[in-house]
Amino acid sequence: MALEDDLAHRLDHVRRRLAAAAARAGRAEGDVRLVAVSKTHPIDAIREAAAAGQVDFGENRVQEGLEKIEQGRDLGLRWHLIGHLQANKARRAALAFAVIHSIDRLDLLESVDRAAADAGRQPEVLIQVDLAGEATKHGAPEESIRAILEAGSRCRAARIVGLMLLPPFVEDPERVRPFFRRLRELRDRLAAEGADPRMLRELSMGMSHDFEVAIEEGATMVRVGTAIFGARR
């Protein structure tokens, strides 16, 4: 009982911080979707969060996500794949997740689109961006984003809805702020150059230690794990 109470309290606390950050930025609370990152945590914790009203959940591995989606069928949750997607798992991901945040190559977009079209599903996808000089392992380089957006307009089923950023881990959120700002500026630049605004609606950025700063810089989806579920095993 105590454990479940803690989870509901932590979730509530995160929601309040989210609302306060949105207010500081002059934005509506409803502009920011909280994705509860449940990786490594058991289905019981997910049920507890769902009972407290949480609908969006994120997993970073396809297999672990598929297991939980199956276990939580009755809950009517919306599942997000937030971790790196390997080409050989694109099909399975396209069939199960409502939102895929980690598209970083044209061929991955095409695989997801083909699988989704065959299955009659319409997953939302985001382009994970590797900002110049960021040198992370995954993400599409800035100069390739336009081509991926153009391919998105030819997709039959998958719908590109925005950009995602996983900046290098830095403890101090103020030092992450410039990365968040650069993703927003990239989005604005692409929009000014004529990209379809429906494909630039969402900015997925911000985690437990920096989601408030991300919201101040324009995040529309924050991916929060530890602050809700506690430390990962």
**Radius of gyration over every alpha carbon of the chain, rounded to an integer in angstroms:** 17
Closest approach, Cβ 232 to ligand PLP, in A, equals: 7
Closest approach, Cβ 64 to ligand PLP, in A, equals: 12
Return the ∠ at Cα 28 (arms to 180 and 174), rounded to 5°.
Answer: 25
Regarding 158 and contact with ligand PLP (CB under 6 A), the answer is: no
Two tokens, residue 38: 């449940």
Q: How far apart are CA 131 and CA 12, in angstroms?
A: 33
Closest approach, Cβ 162 to ligand PLP, in A, equals: 15
Q: How many residues does the chain have?
A: 233
Q: 58-97: which residues touch ligand PLP (CB under 6 A)?
A: 60, 82-83
Residue 196 main-chain phi, psi, to 5 deg: -60, 120
Q: How far apart are CA 59 and CA 40, in angstroms?
A: 9
Regarding 40 and contact with ligand PLP (CB under 6 A), the answer is: no
Regarding 139 and contact with ligand PLP (CB under 6 A), the answer is: no
Residue among 166 and 199 whose Cβ is closer to ligand PLP: 166
With 0-12 / 13-18 / 19 or more C-beta atoms within 10 angstroms meaning exposed / middle / buried, residue 158 is buried
| Near ligand PLP by CB under 6 A: residue from 85, 90, 160, 207 | 207
Regarding 226 and contact with ligand PLP (CB under 6 A), the answer is: yes
Using an 8 Å Cβ cutoff, are 125 and 228 in contact?
Answer: no
| Near ligand PLP by CB under 6 A: residue from 21, 32, 37, 45 | 37
Regarding 123 and contact with ligand PLP (CB under 6 A), the answer is: no
Regarding 208 and contact with ligand PLP (CB under 6 A), the answer is: yes
Note the residues at the interface with ligand PLP (CB under 6 A).
37, 39, 60, 82-83, 166, 207-208, 223-227
